[in-house]
Structure 1
């Protein structure tokens, strides 16, 4: 394996996943796709601090095509070479270092950033399939105790699956041997800086719990509250969008609701919940009491993922593993509405149809197929199916801008971005016009509109079946772009 690693070069030296719910990690072909531009230039800084919290240097990051230009200056270090890595979380706090299995300074920064789950420490030349993306060149410190480095790297990015925003840059006390797991025998973590985007403001809503994994989000404009649900427990929470106060709305496990995926609010302020592998749709009253639990037909592999209230009071439901769209009538009767087997939508391994919405004119459904990156339009009268566009790799939840129904937002989970799509007047074609990593998104799943803003879940579903999620879990609010 080591010999293979050394043959796969990606870092340009100069003077200077994964969805656990049935999906493989995003591979090299997906990562090679060009990303659409962000709304502001992609630049970031990290103030480098010592164990006492004193600022002892600065790192800068600038997206330059498919690579990132990095400069680092750090003071007060011992002369010689020091290992330097991007770590997984944003926390420059004490925590457990897996290299020594005890609490150490900056241990809360977590392990090395490893988006392709290589599980292997390697050199800055190694392809991310075979070594951590966070394995960077060493910092050389002079006799004056000041270390400086300047280089370009395409192992990391400020957007997409390899995005390092809101993660940490760690400088170690010793050189990196670029082979020993987990961190190259680099010793203690002596400097840390959180990598923060420059020039973009967002607001986070922290959520309670260490296993929350928020997948769905919805806004009730009548009540002025956000709802979000736990994919892991089925609990539903309300969030006050002004104060950020979080309240338990419905306990997980209520009438068998052990998971909550897509959430929607209807015109009666009832909350609709997609039950995932339970194969159910739950309907909750405005005060949180169950109105109905609607069962889809029994099968060994249901996956009820998202819902779309329509103007006539119906609600349409996607199943990500069975090729069918269900319809719940206004009298709460659930039936199969469209057999997808005879349409252009072809189901394959993994998560298929996912996010769904009804257009405001009542004519169409739009739905996102996650495992192909295809966006589809379905005529509500004729049931005719048309492909709107492809290329939306790992597209999950979708949202129309209420102020402009020709603007569609797509949460692209493993890619860590929200994409903006310009739709034609009949929603029959679309073009990708912008993508935003915001301040660093962790597996964004679904979106909702709050006035002129958008709120997106940072679900971290890639860590639901393994790994350590970063807490607190968060919803993130940003200005519609």
Structure 2
């Protein structure tokens, strides 16, 4: 059973009319796996009004897919659809049959005031059905609960962004409509965070003070078509895992390539993450091929451990992903995304043992002493794990959705803060990502 977030989850949406005037509020409170919603809004025509959670946290004009015209609050996008049903349905439908954002109607009295209180299991404030930083929209007409895309519910008359109560983050916006940031690494001495594009291989440098973004290294050259896991070593060099290109790139602090290291040619290559270890080597995971590679200090790459002879069993999908070295220099920890298993790999004996399970969709890792933070991409949470003294067992102690996560991929430390890419890799092969893409910085929890 997943552990709860560190504080009770509550959120509020200030409901505005198209002129920007606040004419109501909606509150959201986590209750078990669902959420209790209370709506109170004024100035509407008496009768029933469609009520929906929309995908994007934007109450701005934009194109409404129902009419293909620019409308008030069109920037909120279509209905939130975590089950990818692509179908409008009633509030009792399973999310695989209908939009998760399809809610009960709002009944407005003769005085123009509409009130509603209900609990829905279609939404949450955390996880895959998380509604934080999405929009609640009140429509002009009743919802027929069947017509795509919005139940013939008419114009968008009120809109409010679902904002977590008493919680703040700092976002670093990134350029480009197709950036899809995957990795993140911090050079504390320079005050810079690096993030790499899964789509193009370009690596960006983000000034952690000002938020200014510059291109550190263009993608597409030297065989780097994507940039996944990133690390900064003691020399200030940036290491990048090249995904399907099968490469490991090593770049000087000025972005000039020091080396492009090739793993053996294979149609199944997927070099995903890497970590410097206290022994001076860098260890590299491949999510498709059951092998851990090692790069020695003289930048020689070789296969270090054949995983086919270990308890780790590769299966369809993404296998070993995030990897970190324990501070005692004795072991590596790696998470297997498709099984949720966390593994300990002894650096001296190469013995492999399962530390724990329950980390499904575990992507990137950050080890802070005996605390392990796990970015769980499609689950849309950061999971905090407490490990024992020899890193052979762990327990989930908290789940954190921040102010609304969009497929978080990994983490890096910035002093007492953490920083995570909102990767949106679930939209990489289709769908409309939220832009601008961003890194999000928040206090350790």
Report the number of matched residues. 445
* Residue of structure 2 equivalent to 1:20: none
Query: What's the counterpart of residue 439 of structure 1?
Result: 403
What residue number does 1:449 align with? 413
Q: 1:170 aligns with which of 110, 133, 137?
A: 137
* Deviation by residue 1:313-372 (Cα, 9 ceiling, x = unmatched): 211000000110000111111100110101110000110000001111110000010000
Q: How many Å apart are 1:254 and its aligned residue?
A: 2.4
Query: 1:391-430 alignment to 2 at 5 Å?
Result: 391-401=358-368, 405-430=369-394
Indicate conservation of the 8 Å contact 2:223/2:247, yes or no.
Answer: no
**Selected match of 2:296 from 321, 326, 329:** 329
- Shift of residue 208, structure 1, vs aligned partner: 0.8
Determine helix, strand or coil for the equivalent of 1:254.
coil
Deviation, structure 1 residue 64: 1.1
Q: Tell me which residue corresponds to 2:66.
A: 99
**1:208-357 to 2 correspondence within 5 Å?**
208-357=175-324
Deviations 1:81-137 (A, max 9, x none): 000100001000011111111211111101111111011110000011111110000
Whole-angstrom CA distance in 2 between matches of 1:80 and 1:224: 56
TM-score in terms of structure 2 length: 0.99
Deviation at 1:53, TM superposition (A): 0.7
Deviation of the 1:213 alpha carbon: 0.5
Give the superposition deviation at 1:257: 1.2
The CA deviation string for residues 181-201 of structure 1, in whole angstroms up to 9 with x for no partner, is 111111111110000000212
Distance 2:415 2:70 in 1: 44
Kept in 2, the 8 Å contact 1:40–1:199? The answer is no
Counterpart position of 1:179: 146
User: Is the 2:229–2:241 Cα contact (8 Å) retained in structure 1?
Assistant: yes
Q: Distance in 1 between matches of 2:187 and 2:391?
A: 25
Partner of 2:424: 460
8 Å CA contact 1:92–1:192 kept in 2: the answer is yes
Unaligned runs of 5+ in 2: none
Counterpart CA distance in 2 for 1:48 and 1:476 is 25
Structure 1 residue aligned with 2:26, among 35, 45, 59?
Answer: 59
Q: Give distance in 1, aligned partners of 2:50 and 2:254.
A: 54
Q: CA deviation at 1:166?
A: 0.3
The residue that corresponds to 1:471 in the other structure is: 435
> CA shift at 1:37, angstroms?
1.2
Q: Tell me the distance in 2 between the aligned counterparts of 1:127 and 1:440.
A: 22
SS in 2 for 1:161: helix
CA distance in 2, matches of 1:144, 1:289: 67
Matched, 1:134 2:98: no
Structure 1 segments (4+ residues) deviating >4 Å? none
RMSD (Å), alpha carbons: 0.8
Q: Find the aligned partners of 1:214 and 1:83 in 2 and give their Cα distance.
A: 36
Q: Which residue of structure 1 lines up, in the alignment, with residue 165 of structure 2?
A: 198
- Report SS of the residue matched to 2:129: coil
**TM-score under structure 1 length normalisation:** 0.92
User: What are the Cα deviations for residues 344-401 of structure 1, in whole angstroms up to 9, with x where unaligned?
Assistant: 1000011000000111111000001000011110000000001010011111000012
1:25 alignment partner in structure 2: none
Match of 1:37 in 2: 4
- Distance across 1 between alignment mates of 2:211 and 2:262: 34
**Distance in structure 1 (CA, Å) of the matches to 2:51 and 2:40:** 12
Q: 2:92 aligns to what?
A: 125
Corresponding residue for 2:54? 87
Contact 2:12 2:27 in 1 (8 A): yes
Unpaired segments ≥5 residues, structure 1: 1-33
Cα separation, 2, equivalents of 1:264 and 1:102:
45
Structure 2 counterpart of 1:148, from 115, 122, 134 = 115
C-alpha deviation, 1:222, in angstroms: 2.3
Contact kept in structure 2, 1:67 and 1:152, CA below 8 Å? yes
Report the CA distance between 1:35 and its aligned residue: 3.1
Distance 2:278 2:220 in 1: 30
Of residues 382-391 and 249-258 in structure 1, the stretch that sits farther from structure 2 once superposed is: 249-258
The answer to whether the Cα contact below 8 Å between 1:40 and 1:200 also exists between their aligned partners in 2 is no
Partner SS state of residue 183, structure 1: coil
CA distance, structure 2, for counterparts of residue 250 and residue 342 of structure 1:
38
Kept in 1: contact 2:2–2:396 (CA 8 A) = no
CA distance in 2, matches of 1:159, 1:144: 36
Query: How far apart are the structure 2 equivalents of 1:359 and 1:294?
Result: 25
